Structure 1
Amino acid sequence: MKKIIKIAALSLFGLTLPVAHADENAIRQAFSTSMPEVKIDSVKPSEIKGLYEVAIGANIFYVSDDGKYLLQGHLIDVAKRTDLTEEKLGNTRKQALEKLGQDKMIVFKPKIAKYKIYVFTDIDCGYCRKLHSEIDQYMAQGIQIQYLFFPRAGKGSDSYNKAVSVWCSEDRNAALTEAKKGGTPAAKTCDNPVDEHMQLGAEFEARGTPMIVTEKGTIYPGYMPAKQLAEALESEANPK
């Protein structure tokens, strides 16, 4: 993904993709030639004439109809004051999380789940710990929390190793809760999804933790109290 962003940036300075014709096959061929490791999920015309929308994982890019330029950014409907790209990114995030699967997350379930959220968390992050210390309040609001790990210090860091150890624990929920309280989980290794979590967080452009993602793919960066989050989720589920 870093390579895609780098190429997008270079394109703005005049470097071009070798696309001969403005159609889906030509665009796919151009990516296949320039970035064979990248898998395109879809190519379709955007709201702007002459600009194609290219979905790659949880990201959306734009390619000119002559195939020469690739743009990275958000498309805004000025009159409606609507971020068209963000609306579509919500759907790609939702699909990416569903593809990962709940079995690769640590889930805290209320008795009756009214809402489900995904939380990218760092065991050693202060506000992540604050959120988890109030887990009973989120459960009381009917919010199911599905945790993914995003150790900000990166792979191999102390936080990363704690995440792996928690995942490999016999009782992941209990191990996570203990680690959030400042305990050090017993060092363990096993097959784990931590790297997948981190890759997904990077694709979602996580800037910090906790990062909350709703069922519709909306991102709320940072900590939100249970009641405030429940109100936001209700508004999303039943827009006026």
Structure 2
Amino acid sequence: MSTKCWAVRQRIIWIFSIFAAMGIGINIAIADEAAVRQSVQKILPDDSIASIILSPVPGLYEVTAGSRVFYMSADGRYLFHGNLLDVNTRKNLTKIRRDALKQTALSKLPQTPMVVFTPPNPKHTITVFTDIDCGYCRKLHREIGEFMAKGIKVQYLLYPRAGVNSKSYTKSVNVWCSKDRNQALTDAKAGKTLPNLTCDNPVQKHMKLGELMGISGTPSIILENGRILPGYVPAQRLENYLSGTKK
């Protein structure tokens, strides 16, 4: 065999070996992801898993579910829940990822249908995750007239914390399916019984959005700059936050 033919043959063998190695690598990655998913499904319902990707650490997968970020070994045996730090850059990679998930959720707000109370001359807008049966949510809503007088538009996302099989969820659906949602929400928060209604509604979408944003309690108030204020905040203090006089 001539030197030229030998060189061509070796090059062909080298090319095939590269493709073979790539194929093996892809198959291993697929197998690892399957093992991770199988393990995660034991502790989380499948529909809550947003993504499973390789982390910057070899052999460690990043799993996101809602606003939660955790890590699992490639064989699916070991799970780590905590902050992953890059010592060289001194960056908290977990926080960066979690913040990115929240920003993605925030970007969906303008396209999300809500129950909206709009003042005659809007100056500011707040978005509130609310539970109809939550005491502090009711206290906040009792100030809706003051919000309107201050020019603060209030956008409500229905967030029954007890879940889809709860009375709060049914009340949320009844509110959404009412002809006058604003009045229905006000009545429900005042303890009045609404007619049982059914219709296409975004309540579960609201709940999913809250999960993505890491909402764990109500009311949760989102300011125009994306800042989240947990719990009840009086109208005057909210106006101060919105105008920048309070930080």
TM-score by length of 2: 0.65
Alpha-carbon distance in 2 for matches of 1:205, 1:135: 25
Alpha-carbon distance in 2 for matches of 1:200, 1:104: 12
Alpha-carbon distance in 2 for matches of 1:129, 1:146: 15
> Is the alpha carbon distance of 1:53 and 1:147 closer, same or farther for their aligned partners in structure 2, counting shifts above 3 Å?
farther
- CA deviations on 1:178-235 (whole Å, 9 max, x unpaired) are 1111111111011111112222223333332111122333221110001111222333
Identity across the alignment (%) = 44
Q: List gaps (5 residues or longer) in structure 1.
A: 1-25
Residues 94 and 216 in structure 1, CA contact (< 8 A), matched pair in contact too: no
Residue 171 of structure 1 is matched in structure 2 by 180
Bigger Rg over Cα:
2
Instruction: Compute the RMSD of aligned alpha carbons.
Output: 4.0
Residue 105 of structure 2 is matched in structure 1 by 96
Secondary structure at 2:51 match in 1:
coil
Residue 223 of structure 1 is matched in structure 2 by 232
Matches within 5 A, 1:24-173: 30-31=32-33, 34-35=36-37, 38-40=49-51, 56=64, 59=67, 61=69, 71-73=80-82, 89=98, 92-99=101-108, 101-173=110-182
Residues 151 and 198 in structure 1, CA contact (< 8 A), matched pair in contact too: yes
Secondary structure at 2:214 match in 1:
coil
Alpha-carbon distance in 2 for matches of 1:99, 1:41: 22
- From 180, 183, 199, give the equivalent of 2:189: 180
Amino acid at match of 1:40: S
- From 185, 189, 203, give the equivalent of 2:212: 203
Q: List gaps (5 residues or longer) in structure 2.
A: 1-27, 39-45
Residue 18 of structure 1 is matched in structure 2 by none
Amino acid at match of 1:135: I
How many residue pairs match? The answer is 209
Cα offset, 1:111, TM superposition: 2.6
Residues 169 and 175 in structure 1, CA contact (< 8 A), matched pair in contact too: yes
> Is the alpha carbon distance of 1:147 and 1:34 closer, same or farther for their aligned partners in structure 2, counting shifts above 3 Å?
same
Alpha-carbon distance in 2 for matches of 1:232, 1:84: 30
> Is the alpha carbon distance of 1:97 and 1:28 closer, same or farther for their aligned partners in structure 2, counting shifts above 3 Å?
farther
Residues 123 and 129 in structure 1, CA contact (< 8 A), matched pair in contact too: yes
Cα offset, 1:142, TM superposition: 2.7
Cα offset, 1:29, TM superposition: 8.2
Amino acid at match of 1:174: Q
> Is the alpha carbon distance of 1:30 and 1:139 closer, same or farther for their aligned partners in structure 2, counting shifts above 3 Å?
farther
Alpha-carbon distance in 1 for matches of 2:100, 2:127: 14
> Is the alpha carbon distance of 1:63 and 1:155 closer, same or farther for their aligned partners in structure 2, counting shifts above 3 Å?
closer
- CA deviations on 1:29-73 (whole Å, 9 max, x unpaired) are 85466238544399886xxx99x9968475263659x97976544
Cα offset, 1:28, TM superposition: 9.0
Amino acid at match of 1:123: I
